[in-house]
Amino acid sequence: MDKNAMKQAIEEIKTDSYEKEKDGWKEIISKILKEIKSLESEKRHLGCQINDIDAKLVFLKRDLDDIKIGRIDRISFAYNNAFMNQVHTTSRI
């Protein structure tokens, strides 16, 4: 094998190795991007749950204030709903 053929064979091996390595990185990057997307989706879902809980807390605190000042007639639907939904909310979290 002459020197030129040897150099060409070495270059082909290097190129082939580089392509395999590049494909390996593409796969790793793809997996990372999928995981990022999954975590962002989970974060949005948890954010919605937090907002639901915050809304219930607002109504319950208002109900508590109404009870303290004797405005029992104003107790909101949220009081009943909060306890009815407690199992549902807890199971989602």
Give pLDDT tens digits for 1-57: 577 777 777 777 766 666 667 677 778 778 888 888 888 899 888 988 888 888 888
Can you give the pTM of this predicted structure? 0.46
- Domain residue extents for the chain: 3-92
Q: How many CA atoms lie within 13 A of 26 on its CB side?
A: 6
Tell me the C-alpha to C-alpha distance, in Å, between residue 14 and each of 4, 10, 17, 19, 21. 15, 6, 5, 9, 10
Helix, strand, coil fractions of the chain, as percent rounded to 5:
90, 0, 10
Going 65 to 68 to 69 to 72, the CA torsion angle's sign is positive
